Amino acid sequence: MTRPRPHPGRAALALLVLGAGCAAPEVGPDIAAGRALLGAIATGTGPALDRRAAAEFRAAEDALIRAGQPVIELQGECDPFSDPPAATLRSDCRLHSLVPRPSATDARSTRDFLAMLDSYLAALDGLARSASVDEARRQADALVAAFGQPSAARPAAFEEIAQAVRARRALIVEGSGFVLDQVRIMALRRAVRAAAQAVTDGLPVAAAYLETLDPRLETAFEAHLRARSELEEARLAGDPRRYRAAVDALRARTEALAAAQAASPAVQLRAFGEVHARLVRSLRHPGGLPRIVALLEQLRRLRDAIP
């Protein structure tokens, strides 16, 4: 029996709606831009952050020591003469810190947050560039090929299944890829949606902490404000030499302010926030046209494969 073909216009509309809902946006450049910004921040502030984290940790230990509280405890087997099992060559003796986890922001928590941001982008990158979808198509193709060429010598039951599988080769191959592609896109959307609030809330906090490590921007801004005031006062004073010096000073301070802004980790983190917001937007809405076209072609192959 021949099934009635759907109206071409209606079918195209259905494909378009389906395509718009499932299209994978081009997120690779945003992820790469975010990682580059994080790398620059880590290079610029990493050593200072490490030094501050070590100092803060020691200060927290000192506070416990002053209060006579426990600071560390030993964990694992620490007596090498207690006849350890033969398989154990060395004891697993280790020190565990009892310094409580900070409930506010410090160097360590800022460093951990920045490291987690990098892990988050790496996970998104892994999903966006996953080669597993293409691999699934290859394996699905191999599965169909495994049934071999038709042969009358084989049992009829096997050949019946083999024939059905061969007849649906395109559907099986494209279907496997399509389904996994959708799983990937959904996981990508879910991850970005779930992380959005934590990223939005955390970035200004990390930026505020990094500013405490590097006050150059504030210093440059203060100097700029003073130079602006001096310019007005010098002009009103009617002293050409003072006025000349004030003009030169404001020019220099404006350049210094621009340089401090470019180097500021807080400004870089704000740029990271912008890139992430773009990522959230691009995953909320359908992706770029090339991707939608590719998806429509994928859908068309799927529909054509249905016998």
Partner 1 sequence: MSSALETAQSLIDSLKLTQRGFLARLNAEASAARKAGNEALASELTLKSIQLSWQNLALHRARQKLLLATDLPALTQRLGAVVADANRAAADIGSAAELLGRAARLVELLRRLLDVFA
Q: How many residues bind partner 1 (CB under 8 A)?
A: 67
3-state secondary structure of 101: coil
C-beta of 15 vs 109, nearer to partner 1:
109
- Per the listing, tokens 């080669």 go with 131
C-beta of 155 vs 307, nearer to partner 1:
155
- Using CB under 8 A as the criterion, what x/- string covers residues 101-140 for binding partner 1? xxxxx---xx-xx--xx-xx--xx-xx--x-xx-xx--xx
CB 284 within 8 A of CB 3: no
For position 201 contacting partner 1 by CB under 8 A, the verdict is yes
Shortest distance, position 293 Cβ to partner 1, whole Å: 23
For position 261 contacting partner 1 by CB under 8 A, the verdict is no
Shortest distance, position 49 Cβ to partner 1, whole Å: 13
DSSP per-residue string spanning 254-303:
HHHHHHHHHH-HHHHHHHHHHHHHHHHHHHHS---HHHHHHHHHHHHHHH
Q: Which stretch binds partner 1 (CB under 8 A): 2-10, 56-64, 76-84, 191-199?
A: 191-199
CA distance readout (Å), 71 to 59, 65, 75, 94? 12, 7, 13, 14
Query: In terms of Cα–Cα distance, which of 199, 182, 180, 178 is closest to 279?
Result: 199
C-beta of 23 vs 224, nearer to partner 1:
224
For position 171 contacting partner 1 by CB under 8 A, the verdict is no
Which residues, numbered 40-99, are part of the site for partner 1 (CB under 8 A)? none
Q: Which stretch binds partner 1 (CB under 8 A): 48-56, 74-82, 219-227, 298-306?
A: 219-227
Distance separating alpha carbons of residues 294 and 18, to the nearest angstrom: 13
Interface contacts to partner 1, rule CB under 8 A: 101-105, 109-110, 112-113, 116-117, 119-120, 123-124, 126-127, 130, 132-133, 135-136, 139-140, 142-143, 145-148, 151, 153-155, 158, 162, 176, 180, 183-184, 187-188, 190-191, 194-195, 197-199, 201-202, 204-206, 208-209, 211-212, 218, 221-222, 225, 228-229, 232, 235-236
